[in-house]
Each structure stands twice: as structure tokens, then as C-alpha cells.
Amino acid sequence: MKIFKTVLLTLLFSTFFISCSSDQDDEKPPVVEPTPTAVDLTVENFVYRGMNEIYLYKADVPVLANDFFASQEDRNDFLDNYASPEDLFYDGLTASQDRFSFIVDDYIELENSFSGISKTTGLSYGLVRYCSSCSEVFAFVRYVLPNTPAAESGLKRGDIITRVDGQQINDSNFSQLFAPDAFTVGLGTLEGSTITDTDETFDLTKIEYNTNPVFVAKTLDVEGQKVGYLMYNSFTSDYDPQLNAAFGQFKADGVTDLILDLRYNGGGSVRTATDLASMITGQFPGELFMKEVWNAEYQAYFESEAPERLLNNFNTSIRTGEAINSLNLGRVYVITTNRSASASELVINGLNPYIDVVQVGETTTGKFQASVTLYDSSNFGRQNANSSHTYAIQPLVLKSVNSAGVSDYINGLAPDVEISENFRNLGVLGEVSEPMLNVAVNTIIGNRISIDNDFQKYKFVGESTMKDLNYQRMYIDKVPTFIEK
């Protein structure tokens, strides 16, 4: 009996133990909810704050309204919808009519570009299609920068490039082909409308280079007249002394007429453009060259508190304090193409109410807005910028209006004398025989000549500078005083 009870108790205990063990095995471990990871929206908040503050087209972007978000949390929810600061900037905060505002993730590179510092082979080229219905593209050499690999290679203005590293250039691969630090270009010939590859190739390597925008400055003797010729390729403020020195030489040479060649000039500094206009003239010191128009809040603030901030007047000195070398001209001849933009157009539009501006070439790009660099700091200045990132934004902040009230030339500025470059006969820059310069010279001396525009033209696809951060940009040098909201 005692044995039976012992066995029974043992069985009951074993059954209970097994049952409990089975229950514990079937029981799922408690689910531990992951702690939400805080999304870092530092850059996004900076981008939004800058655009909300100073963007020229703020009124056209509803989410930039000061009262659009009820709280910072609501704003963060909006910012978190975008995969990157770039997506936020371009897809969420820029107006549809804005072709020129941009964002960068490395403001050091941006600052270098404004100073004329870049990596280049020294080759300046344009890209055009073989035909209207094909994808093939060829590059034509516009000019070669001195003391660069391209100059040492022997490439020259007018050369036709059809291949890079053995691959035919087309409308989808040209950016990729010219992107590496080293590549090989293959030449072709253009006869009539036929392009034929040759066996001639050139090896090119990019170097860091400081580009002087004063590319050609010379005095021409044209039938006894002293004619100044300046090919100026960018409004780069670091080279204002070189620009002023060129005008000093023109003045010493006694030039009576000036041909300003801006055919490849995509723009740059507003102050430099104002100074260049002052070098051409000189008889209008202190008079209005260009008036600025900002977004509604800034415009109201400036008009009330600092109306002089809106005025860009003809100057008597450049940034360094050096006196401007003025020619006191009543007429200037300006060579343009459809690549002439922003500050180039500003010079033409700003001078128009004061002197006779004779435009030779093609209609310009049509850009009348200027931007400024904003950094992630309390006042958007470079000092004390957030050290956790190197993002900066370059939003459009103002549009330019000349003293006669002219602005908004969205379709560009049309020439008085029309001529386009013929890739079969580009000529030598600075030589009177170069076709566009030749037309300008003959316009000065009053010769009626036949202008050859009856040749096959090619559709523009791109150019060597189009990936530059300051491409076709016009900018002011620093952020103005900001409004306290």
C-alpha cells in the first residue's frame, strides 16, 4: 500500500511537472517594442528655415508660409517625408518657375567655384546633336585655357570631338564620359553636314586650376581707330583687379570703342557686373545701375528701414579700394550667344538706359535673378556654421530691375545684329577675321557686310561648364540683415 501511494504520488508529480513544462514551452516570450530611433532632421530644418526666410518665390510655395505648420512637430513630419535634403529642396520647396536655385553638400567646393578654382583639363567645349532625330552628340572646342593639359596636348579651338575613351558621345552618356579625372578624346572632321571619325586622339588629365576670366584683352587698330576687345568669360570677383587692369590698358591705349565679348559668359557676381559697367562708362558715378526686388517681407523691410540696400549704383572703385579705370564711352558693342546669362545680361540691361548698347550675336539665356549662399548658422552666414555637416543652399533671393524699370526678360535679350557661330569656321579668338568679332568691327566702322547665317545649325545639348556649381548663376556676396519674426 505504501509502495502504491509512493508510485501514485510520483506519477502525479511527474504529470504536473510535465504539464507545467509544456505550458511554459508553449508560452511565447513577451514582445519587446523597439525604441523609436530619432530621425536627424538637422539639415532639413536648416534648408526649410533658409527658404522660409529669404526665398524670392516664397509666396508661390504654400508650405513656406510662416503659419503653415502649427508646431515644430508638424513641420518635422513634413520634412521626414523626403528621402534626402536634395529631394526636400527640389521637390518640396522650390517654385515651378525657378530654374536656378540649388543645394550643395560641400560648401567648400562651392566657395572654390566662386573664386574660379576647379578641376579641369583646360578644355572649354560645347555639345550639340549630329541631327534632329538622333542621339549622337559631338563636342566642339570653344577655347583652351593656358598652361593646362589640354593646352599642352595641342587641342585647339574648332576641333571636333566625337569619342571619349573609344565610346561615341551621345545625349545620355556625355556627362559620364567627361567626368573622370583622366580620359582620352578622339577627333572627327565636319565637312558640310557629314561628321567622320579620325584616328587622332589626345590624352587629358584634370588638374586644380585658377581660371582668370579675362581671357583676351587687346587693342585693335581698325582703320586708324583704337578699338578695345575684351573676351570676358565669368564675373569672378577674385579677378576684379585683373579686369580693372585691362581697362587701364585700354585707357592708356586711347581706345574710342569697346567690344565686350560675353559669348560664353554664364554670369557671376552682381558687384563685379556693376563695376564692369562703371569701367565702360564713368560719367554716371552714384547713379542707379540696378534696383533689387526681394520677397514681400524683405522688400517691405528694406523700403522702410534701409532703402539704400536695394540700390546698386555705378561705382568709382572696385572692392579692393582701387580706383576704377573708366573709358567714359557713350556706346559699347557686346557679343552674345544663347549661353550668355545672368550677370552678362545684367550689364546689358543696366547700361541700356544710359548709353547705346549694340548687341551682336544671338539672343541671351534670360536670367534676371540673383542668389546668395546660406549656411547653417543663426544668421545664415559662414561664421559659426554648423560643424556637423557642410550643406549650403543657394536660393534665388532677388530680381534685378534697371533704372527704366525693365526686368523679367525671361526669353532673353535679342541682338541688334544677328550672327551665330559656324563650327566649320570658328576662327581665332581676338583676331579681326574671327566671324563674330569681324561683324562687330564692321558695325563700328559702318561697313555694310554680308553676314553668313545660311549654314546648318545644331541643337545645343550641353557644355563643359554645365556641371560647375556656379553655372549660369548671378549672386550677391553676402547675406543681408535678416528680419526678426
Q: pLDDT (tens digit, 9 = 90+) per residue, 43-65?
A: 999 999 999 999 999 999 999 99
Quick one: which of 184, 180, 183, 188 has its CA closest to 202?
Answer: 184
Instruction: Give the predicted TM-score (pTM) of the model.
Output: 0.89
Q: What does the DSSP 8-state code read for residue 322?
A: P
Quick one: which of 223, 128, 204 has its CA closest to 426?
Answer: 128
User: Hey, what domains does the chain have and what are their CATH numbers?
Assistant: 42-98 (no CATH), 118-209 (2.30.42.10), 211-368+398-453 (3.90.226.10)
| pLDDT > 70 fraction of the chain, expressed in percent and rounded | 91
- Quote the distance between the C-alpha of residue 259 and its chain's center: 25
DSSP state string for 162-183: EEETTEEPBTTTHHHHH-SSEE
| pLDDT > 90 fraction of the chain, expressed in percent and rounded | 82
pLDDT per position as a tens digit, 180-220: 999 999 999 998 888 999 999 999 999 999 999 999 999 99
**Residue 288: CB partners within 8 Å, gap ≥ 6?**
311, 312, 313, 403
- Quote the distance between the C-alpha of residue 251 and its chain's center: 32
Q: Is the pLDDT of residue 470 over 80?
A: no
Q: Is the pLDDT of residue 12 over 60?
A: no
Rounded distance between C-alpha atoms, residue 240 and residue 322, angstroms: 10
Q: Is the pLDDT of residue 30 over 70?
A: no
Q: Is the pLDDT of residue 482 over 60?
A: no
List Cα–Cα distances, 22 to 12, 14, 345, in angstroms: 15, 12, 85
**Residue 216: CB partners within 8 Å, gap ≥ 6?**
229, 230, 231, 261, 429, 430
Specify the pLDDT at position 400: 98
β-pair type (392-394, 102-104): antiparallel
Specify the pLDDT at position 484: 47
Rounded distance between C-alpha atoms, residue 251 and residue 485, angstroms: 50
